[in-house]
């Protein structure tokens, strides 16, 4: 940091900004500074491998602006292997994976971006050499190594495994109905190799850079896996329903829905529920954290939330632009659970009285809705 002209004072300020960015308490600033210093001394080692992925989570991570967390972390964290950013290639690069697994067992964090294909002997995703086979017609033949074999080699020595992105965490798009690759989420593969190995699932398609960096810092500061929800996601980032914090919630409560993309009045932000918004069943902090260094988020950009942070994405939350099925608010089939709400009852879920009257076809009584 000194070489980059960053003073000690600026560094502590930076640690404070990082705490705020990650929604952590100010009391943790000294701990964050210490963790960042540890990062600066090259600890802990990280191995970042990719399965059936589009590299979107890596791109998302690298797209952060000032404060340039990605630069700090990637520069200072000992990322020993990352297929897109490392300078080495070929057998030299794969050798690093094998060496780290042997020499730093129990110390490295394994990041897996993308799920694991298991059909056809895992041949849908291979990298590196598994073995050389007998020459044929004078040509030396190689058998490439499936990522499943890499997992068997790398998981046992990992201190923790981070499944990065919805597909790594839950299968996502590669595991949708048309899949022929026998896709399995990372956690399923890890459990088959090392039952008690901690796996942290970071949903999102792609995942937000803060979700990843915050998880790594939390792990370094507290020396333990952060609090996770029932789907293995850090509650610090996936603890709240999108719908609870959405800026268009008043429109939802008032029964004011966009029904035709051409009808949108930019001055009046209509609720996107009928255009397929999955915010009512999606847990993530997008409305408050926002994306691209806090510039905007999906609904803010007039796009319905697709539910990309959820285990049910993509298979059970598509078609993306269709409303959630079996939701009739006041219809006989509707329950709080249908929408993923915790508390039952219209009042508890915050559906406005105006909307209730509208749905019942009744006139709002004079003098109020109560």
The residues annotated with a catalytic role in the active site are 54, 57, 167, 205, 243, 246, 271, 277, 286, 298, 305, 308
**How many other C-beta atoms are found inside a 10 Å radius of the C-beta of residue 120?**
11
Residue closer to ligand SF4 (CB basis): 161 or 272: 272
The answer to whether residue 276 forms part of the interface with ligand SF4 (CB under 6 A) is no
Window of 48-56, 131-139, 228-236, 298-306 that interacts with ligand SF4 by CB under 6 A: 298-306
Question: Distance between CA atoms of 195 and 171, rounded to whole angstroms?
Answer: 19
Nearer to ligand SF4, 220 or 241 (CB): 241
Which of 250, 306, 299 shows the shortest CA–CA distance to 278? 306
Phi, psi of 50 (to 5 degrees): -130, 130
CA 190 from centroid of its chain's CA atoms? 18
Min CB(114)–ligand SF4 separation in Å: 17
Q: Which of 32, 216, 284, 351 binds ligand SF4 (CB under 6 A)?
A: 284
Min dist CB 23 to ligand SF4, Å, is: 15
In whole angstroms, what is the distance from residue 314 CA to residue 206 CA?
13
User: Are the C-beta atoms of 113 and 51 separated by less than 8 Å?
Assistant: yes
Q: Does 273 contact ligand SF4 by CB under 6 A?
A: yes
Rounded CA separation 338/198 (Å): 31
Residues 192-251 that bind ligand SF4 (CB under 6 A): 204, 242-243, 246, 248-249
CB of 361 to ligand SF4, least distance (A): 22
| Closer to ligand SF4 by Cβ: residue 10 or 333 | 333
Q: Torsion angle of alpha carbons 235, 304, 174, 206, nearest 10°?
A: -50
Q: Which two tokens stand for residue 302?
A: 């007039």
Q: How far apart are the C-alpha atoms of 95 and 201, rounded to whole Å?
A: 27
The SS3 assignment for 64 reads coil
Least distance (Å) from ligand SF4 to the CB of residue 251? 7
Map tokens 């700090």 to a residue: 72
| Number of residues engaging ligand SF4 in binding (CB under 6 A) | 24
Stretch near ligand SF4 under the rule CB under 6 A, chosen from 102-110, 114-122, 268-276, 355-363 = 268-276
For ligand SF4, the nearest residue by Cβ is 279
> Which of 313, 234, 258 has the alpha carbon at shortest distance from 281?
313
The tokens describing 345, both together, are 């009852």
Closer Cβ to ligand SF4, 24 or 246, answer by number = 246
Determine contact, residues 116/186, Cβ cutoff 8 Å.
yes
- Could you tell me which of 368, 366, 356 has the C-alpha nearest to residue 252? 356
Within residues 301-320, the interface with ligand SF4 by CB under 6 A covers 305-309
- For the CB of residue 102, give the shortest distance to ligand SF4 in the complex, in Å: 38
Quick one: which of 35, 112, 158, 277 contacts ligand SF4 (CB under 6 A)? 277
Rounded-to-integer distance, Cα 52 and Cα 69, Å: 26
**Which one of the spans 49-57, 231-239, 294-302, 329-337 is the region binding ligand SF4 (CB under 6 A)?**
294-302
Piece of the chain touching ligand SF4 by CB under 6 A; list 130-138, 148-156, 184-192, 277-285: 277-285
CB of 106 to ligand SF4, least distance (A): 34
Binding residues among 49-78 for ligand SF4 as defined by CB under 6 A: none
**Virtual torsion, Cα 341, 345, 351, 354, nearest 10 deg:** 170
Q: Which residues are at the interface with ligand SF4 (CB under 6 A)?
A: 204, 242-243, 246, 248-249, 252, 271-273, 277, 279-280, 282, 284, 286, 297-299, 305-309
């Amino acid at each position: 940091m000194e070489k980059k002209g960053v003073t000690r004072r600026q560094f502590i300020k930076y640690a404070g900004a990082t705490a705020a960015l990650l929604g952590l308490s100010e009391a943790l600033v000294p701990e964050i500074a210490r963790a960042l210093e540890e990062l600066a001394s090259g600890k802990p080692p990280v191995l970042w491998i990719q399965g059936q992925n589009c590299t979107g989570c890596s791109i998302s991570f690298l797209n952060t602006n000032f404060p340039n967390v990605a630069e700090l972390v990637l520069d200072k964290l000992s990322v020993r292997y990352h297929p897109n950013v490392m300078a080495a290639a070929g057998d030299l690069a794969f050798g690093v994976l094998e060496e780290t697994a042997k020499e730093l067992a129990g110390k490295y964090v394994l990041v897996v971006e993308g799920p694991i294909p298991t059909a056809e002997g895992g041949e849908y995703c291979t990298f590196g050499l598994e073995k050389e086979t007998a020459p044929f017609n004078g040509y030396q033949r190689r058998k490439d190594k499936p990522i499943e074999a890499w997992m068997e080699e790398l998981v046992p020595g990992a201190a923790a495994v981070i499944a990065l992105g919805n597909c790594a965490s839950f299968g996502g798009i590669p595991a949708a109905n048309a899949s022929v690759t026998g896709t399995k989420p990372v956690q399923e593969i890890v459990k088959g190799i090392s039952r008690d190995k901690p796996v942290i699932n970071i949903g999102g398609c792609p995942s937000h850079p803060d979700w990843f960096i915050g998880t790594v810092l939390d792990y370094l500061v507290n020396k333990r896996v952060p609090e996770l929800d029932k789907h293995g996601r850090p509650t610090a980032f996936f603890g709240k329903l999108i719908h609870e914090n959405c800026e268009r919630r008043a429109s939802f409560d008032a029964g004011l829905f966009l029904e035709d993309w051409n009808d949108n009045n930019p001055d009046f932000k209509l609720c996107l529920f009928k255009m397929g918004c999955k915010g009512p069943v999606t847990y993530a902090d997008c409305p408050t954290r926002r994306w691209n260094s806090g510039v905007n988020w999906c609904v803010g950009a007039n796009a319905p939330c697709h539910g990309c942070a959820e285990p049910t994405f993509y298979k059970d939350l598509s078609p993306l632009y269709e409303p959630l099925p079996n939701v009739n608010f006041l219809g006989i089939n509707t329950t709080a659970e249908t929408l993923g709400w915790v508390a039952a009852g219209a009042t508890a879920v915050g559906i406005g009285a105006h909307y209730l009257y509208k749905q019942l076809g009744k006139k709002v009584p004079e003098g109020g809705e109560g």
